[in-house]
Amino acid sequence: MGSSLLSGKVALVTGAARGLGRDYARRFAQDGAAVAVVDLDGDGARRTAAELIDIGASACSEAVDICDSAGTASAVTRIAQSLGGIDILINNAGIWGDLKMTTVLETDVDYWRTVLDVNVTGCFVMTKAVASVMKQRGWGRIVNVSSQGAWKPGGIYSLTKLALHSLSYSAAAELAQHGITVNSLAVGPTYNAATQRQVPPEAFERGLATNLIKRAGTSDDMYGAIRYLCSDDAAYVTAQVISPNGGQFPQF
């Protein structure tokens, strides 16, 4: 196991059956937190939780569609009972690896609504359910996982990620009085399995050409910022957008 920085804390990570969420869940466990793994993919969520238990952490999993408010609320209640509360929420689940890449005008209206529902409404639903648990302790950390794509043309995907910044601002304003901070993490260029499905290597390399730090980001680079936002050191940091992106400016 790693540090004990988050020892005694309970972290709920959505979209942790695979990809970045799974890596964040493992890092939270290594930092001493108990971890709830939440995903639409119940088998994947169970696998991640089993990996965390194998390294000595407390962990549980829930198969949840974050758009389903009743299902989300009951899963959150079970998690809080099983792990003894919820201190940290990482709203990481979203449609990215499985995204149908289309321009705005090519996008089917129903598909537009689906992506909006998962990437934005799902984070709102989860925030609503978890905030009521956090309020009981008067302490909480919520991180909405956005993207540097929020500041670039990228159709419905970019729109949803920019909307998360707004969700963070409003939730931060409401929850500050309860000791809960809400921030956005605009994930930088990370060439993981999901991104490899969406972005050809040449295009990814071209994107890196404008970076000050000439390499792709890793899940550890992203987790470093998450861990800071979830620590006591970030008690005065709320309604902010942090983008670990190697020094990339919002230009295209």
Which residues are part of the catalytic machinery?
Answer: 157
Max intra-chain CA distance, the chain:
49
Shortest Å distance, C-beta 146 to ligand NAD? 7
Q: Given the complex with ligand NAD, which of 158 and 238 has the nearer CB atom?
A: 158
Do 243 and 183 form a contact (C-beta atoms < 8 A)?
no
Q: Given the complex with ligand NAD, which of 90 and 175 has the nearer CB atom?
A: 90
Shortest Å distance, C-beta 212 to ligand NAD? 18
Mark residue 199 as left, alpha or beta (left: phi above 0; alpha: psi -120 to 50; beta: remaining). beta
Q: Given the complex with ligand NAD, which of 6 and 90 has the nearer CB atom?
A: 90
Tokens describing residue 120: 């934005």
Q: Which residues bind ligand NAD (CB under 6 A)?
A: 14-15, 17-21, 39-41, 64-67, 92-98, 118, 122, 145, 147, 187, 190, 192, 194-195
- β-bridge partners, 187: 147
Q: Could you give the angle at the alpha carbon of 137 between the alpha carbons of 52 and 133, nearest 5°? A: 65
Cα gap 193→118, rounded to integer Å? 20
The upper half-sphere exposure of residue 88, i.e. CA atoms within 13 Å in the direction of its Cβ, equals: 30
CA 84 vs CA 12, 40, 180: distances in Å: 12, 23, 18
- β-bridge partners, 12: 36, 89
Shortest Å distance, C-beta 6 to ligand NAD? 20
Shortest Å distance, C-beta 77 to ligand NAD? 17
Task: Give the rounded distance of the alpha carbon of 78 from its chain centre.
Answer: 20
Tokens describing residue 81: 């009972």
Task: Give the rounded distance of the alpha carbon of 77 from its chain centre.
Answer: 20
Q: Given the complex with ligand NAD, which of 111 and 139 has the nearer CB atom?
A: 111
Q: Given the complex with ligand NAD, which of 98 and 205 has the nearer CB atom?
A: 98
Shortest Å distance, C-beta 38 to ligand NAD? 7
